[in-house]
A = this chain, B = another copy of it.
Amino acid sequence: MKNDKKNDDRVIPIAPLDRLIRKANAERVSESAAKELGIILEDLGKEIANRANDLAKHANRTTVKDSDIRLAYKQWSERM
């Protein structure tokens, strides 16, 4: 119920997240667990994407490249 609103602007589908948890040798995975992981990964993804976009602009590019994502992730990890 309370996830309905959050789901509206979520982009990662549930099925692959469920599979990701099953790969960690989980016997069973609740649907809410897969959703929760989706919320967490999307939040992290948004933070990295925002940083990557700033880095691309800083390099006078309109295209976000993999090198922007890599540096954004490095900076984000070091921040914690």
> Could you list which residues of chain A lie within 8 angstroms of chain B, going by C-beta atoms?
11-13, 16-17, 19-21, 23-30, 32-33, 35-37, 40-42, 44-46, 48-50, 52-53, 56, 62-66, 68-70, 73, 77, 80
**Which 9 A-B pairs rank lowest in CB-CB distance, beginning with the nearest?**
A24-B49, A32-B66, A11-B16, A36-B66, A28-B63, A27-B62, A80-B80, A36-B69, A26-B64
Alpha-carbon distance between A41 and B48 when the two chains are bound, in angstroms: 10
Residues of chain B within 8 A of A25, CB atoms compared: 53
Q: Pull 7 A–B residue pairs with CB atoms less than 8 Å apart, ordered by A.
A: A12-B16, A13-B16, A21-B69, A23-B49, A24-B50, A29-B63, A33-B69
Distance A47 CA – B29 CA, assembled complex (angstroms)? 16
